Structure 1
Amino acid sequence: MGQPFDPGQPYQPGPPSPGRYPQGAYPQGAYPQGGYPQGGYPPGGHPPPPTQPKDRSGMRRWGKGLTFVGLAILVVSVVVGGILAATGAGNIVNDSFVVEPTARHAYDAGDTFTLFTEDGRAPSCNIDGPAEPVRNGSLTAEFDHDGNHVESFASFEVVQGGTYTFECTDRVVVASVDVGGILSLGGGIALAFLGGGLGGLLFLIGVVLWIIAGRKPRTA
C-alpha cells in the first residue's frame, strides 16, 4: 500500500512499475541508452542514400587513347628510325676499302673520303696521287665495318681526279662519306631512341589509366 498523500510535501515519483512497457517498446520520444533501437531510425527519418560510384568513363577513354597512340608512335619511330640508320650506314659502307698496309683507289675531282680506325688511335698515313688532297677536319662519323666498330680520324677532298695510293702504319678503313649519309644515320638513331622513348612512355601511362578506370569502386 502506498504512502498517504501529504499536501505539505513536494511530489516525488517512485520507481517505475515492473511491466509498465512491453519488452522492446518505449514511449514516444524515449529511447534506450546509446541511441535509437537496433536497426531503427528516428521518427520520420530515412536511411542515408547509397554512395554513387565515381564516373570513370573519361579516364577510361584517355587510357585507351594514350595506349594506342603511344604504341603507334613507338612502332613507327623504331621502324622508320631503323630504316634511316641502316640506309645511312649502308651508304658509308658501300664505297669503302681497307688499307693494310697499302691500297689504291680512283677518285674524281670533288670526291671526298674519310679515314677510319678501329682502336681509336690515328695511325700515320701517306696518300700519293695526281694532286695532294685537301684536309677537311670538320667531318666526323662512325659505323660498323666487317663486324668491327670504326671511328673517323681524318677527312679529305680530292681536287684532281685520278688514282691515289694509300700507305698507313696500321689497319685503316677508307670510306666515302657524304652529309646525307651522316644525317640519315644520326637522324635514324635519334628517331628510334627519342620517338621510341616517347611512345613507350605514353603507352605505359595509358595502360595505367586504363587499369585504374577498370577497377571496381570500394563500398563502405
Structure 2
Amino acid sequence: MAVTDEAITKIKAMLISGELKAGDRVPPEKELSERLGLSRSSLREAVKALELARVLDVRRGDGTYVTSLEPAILMETMSFVVDLHQERAAAELLEVRRILEPGSASLAARRITPDAAAELRACVAAVEEDSSVEDLISHDLAFHALVARASGNTYLHGLLEGLAAGTLRGHIWSGLMQDKAVSATLAEHAAIAAAITAGDPDLARALMTVHVSGVESRIRAAA
C-alpha cells in the first residue's frame, strides 16, 4: 500500500471509530503524524486528497476540520466523475437513473410532506411547453431533485444529485424539442407528481420507470 493510501486509511479508521467526528478539528500535522506513525509529507498528501473528497475542510490560518460528512457533500466527487463521462456514457448513466429513480418516486409517495407536495406541484405548474431549453433544463433538474429529496433517504438523494448531469440534460431537452415531445414529457412529470402527492407509491414507481426508460431509449437510438 502506498504511504499516502495508508495515511488515508488511518484517518478513515479514526472517522469510523468516532475518534474524529463531523465538525471536529483535526490534530495539528506534527501531532497527528506521530500518533499515526506516518511521515508529515504522506499525511499532508492524504489531507489534500481528503479535502478534494470533501471529507476534510482545510481553513488557512485556522486548521483542518472534518466536514459535516453529509451524503450530498461526499457525493459531490461522483458528480464530477459524471460530468466528465456524460458524453460517452449517457445511456449507462440513464440506466442507473432508471434503476434508482422509480424507487425514489415510490418512497416519495409514502413520505412526502405537505410543504414538499406543494413545492412539487408548483414546480410542475411553473413550466410551459414553449419555455426555453434553459428553463426546461432548470425545471427538469428541480423536478427530479424535489422527488429525490421527498424520498426521505439522504443517501439516495445524494446519489441522484450526483447523477444530475446538466450537460446531458441539455442534449436530452434539445432532442425533445426537435422531436416535438416536450409536451408529452412535461405531462409525464405532471402525472408522476400527481401520483406522489396522492400517496400512490406503485403508480409513482411505474410512471417514473416509463419516464426514465423513454429518455434512455431516445439516447440509445441517437447513439
> Which category of TM-score, normalised to the shorter sequence, fits these structures?
under 0.3
Q: Which structure exhibits the higher relative contact order, with contacts defined as CA atoms closer than 8 Å and separated by 6 or more residues?
A: 1
TM-score by length of 2: 0.20
TM-score by length of 1: 0.21
Greater Cα radius of gyration, structure 1 or 2: 1
- The structure with the greater share of residues assigned to helix is 2
